[in-house]
A and B are shown apart, each in its own frame.
Chain A
């Protein structure tokens, strides 16, 4: 207990406090800062790049999470079918999730290359487009491209955890539903979804949380460009604090993420409560 406690206090609780404190100072790298109150936050609120980053983060999180949920649920349902080589599929599908994001992002970087993109190549050969797409050079293309890469990485996690949830649903419920004349969609809507809701809540909280604070993918693919179009709060915070040296300002950006995260955590907490309640237990 003690070693864990010491490590966590020294490297987790203390930094969290320090981070919040730094947000109220004008600390630069190599020089201590003075207390300046809310000045960082006032500046950031009037800063167009920060606002753009906030918009990007919300957009990125929203679209990526929704698509991850839909595709993940679909994949989970497919994997829950009677299939040959089921275990094999299940393990292979998690690969994008376990491989270091920075490294798979490099693969995407190459796939999105403006001159040698395999996607452009295929589309040109099929006669669908006549010039290569500039995936990462155009603001909206870049936003969509980074979101696609994020979805690629996140779907396996959603799918595997939802699959675990699906497997706890008893087949006899579906049989009963079928005998009562429920259609496939009705069985999904009135049996699968309600029983899956608690785990969906938790999985999606995780998914939202990690999408919202994503850093690696953007850093590798675009470094926030073009024209700050793909900056997320995390990458902007890194750029201001480490590359730019304005530790205080960067910390303020990072702290500004906390309210959103708290909302997600509260959501998760009530999700967990509800689950314990649904199963008739009070083990939480």
Chain B
């Protein structure tokens, strides 16, 4: 945080660079980056507010809305299964996140603090498990889900999402637990606390920031999940937002762009809001997990 430097400047000598030069080498490129990275969101908002005739006209200025309308949101919320998708996504995400966090805390604590043979190897294999991508696992998982009779239910997602959530949060929490002084626990052990008491009363309160990071990651990852939800769910009522929007609002020859964009926007909002409240945790979690 404190050091602010780059290839041409350091905090100490940056006053040597003139302002016009900084405008060209720093501000202009940065402005372009921000513009390009944010433009699609702006475009989503604008499109979702445009009435159809403005949307499909090539005249005038497409970058602005002349007669903003909420018709697309109205259609989305009251004439499609969108609310059901939203509800499914919330349930699946919350339960999967909670289950994963619970498992990860126990697993990470065990790996870090209960000294048993092979703990290091298990730690490494957790990391490797995180690197196994869903696009390799979805076929066998589909057949398991089918055999368990969970096909087309929320349980299919609640039980499979932890496969990518647990490795990631465990990895994150392992790093966090490692930073808690061991002596605290030793004192408690001497005073006769059990392992679970130590975990509950000492370790967890101290690792709240780590838990928050892991929680946000689990939340965003499961909210974004696509391929499992696409594969394991077939009825409209059980779909999640990303899959529902893509498979149900897109079908047919006439694309309802306004409603599509409204759906995309509305589905992105929850993660964006949660993220904006906890940016610092998210960023530190992201960089921490990569650097570990």
Chain A residues proximal to chain B, CB less than 8 Å: 1-5, 7-8, 10-12, 14-19, 22, 27, 71, 74-75, 77-83, 87, 89-96, 98-104, 106-108, 110-111, 113, 116, 118, 121, 152, 155-157, 160-161, 163-171, 174-175, 178, 184-185, 187-188, 192, 199, 202-203, 206, 209-210, 213-216, 219-220, 233-234, 237-238, 241-242, 247, 250-251, 254-255, 257-258, 261, 265, 268
Contacts and interface: CB of A to CB of B under 8 A. Distances in A.
A174 B7 CA distance: 8
A171 B139 contact: no
A12 B107 contact: no
A95 B162 contact: no
A212 B5 CA distance: 33
Contacts of A4: 103-104, 106-107, 166, 170
B205 interface: no
A121 B136 contact: no
Contacts of B264: 103-104, 106-107
B162 A101 contact: no
B159 interface: yes
A79 to B, nearest CB: 8
27 contacts: A1-B114, A2-B106, A3-B103, A15-B137, A16-B136, A22-B140, A27-B143, A80-B5, A89-B30, A96-B40, A100-B241, A101-B242, A103-B242, A106-B245, A106-B261, A107-B41, A110-B260, A121-B58, A160-B283, A161-B287, A164-B287, A171-B3, A171-B5, A210-B133, A213-B135, A215-B135, A251-B140
Contacts, number: 297
A17 to B, nearest CB: 8
A215 B271 CA distance: 21
Interface stretch (B8-16, B64-72, B74-82, B183-191): B8-16
A216 B134 CA distance: 11
A101 B224 CA distance: 7
Say what secondary structure dominates the interface of chain B: helix
Q: Shortest 4 CB-CB distances between A and B: which pairs? A: A188-B7, A164-B287, A4-B103, A234-B135
A18 B143 contact: yes
Nearest to A159: B33
A1 B128 contact: no
A118 B163 CA distance: 40
Contact of B162 (A11, A71, A96, A213): A11
B152 to A, nearest CB: 13
Contact of A98 (B163, B230, B275): B275
Contact of B243 (A102, A156, A192): A102
A102 B260 CA distance: 12
B19 interface: no
Contacts of A242: 139, 142, 231
A214 B133 CA distance: 9
B291 interface: yes
Nearest to B138: A238
A220 to B, nearest CB: 5
Contacts of B170: 4
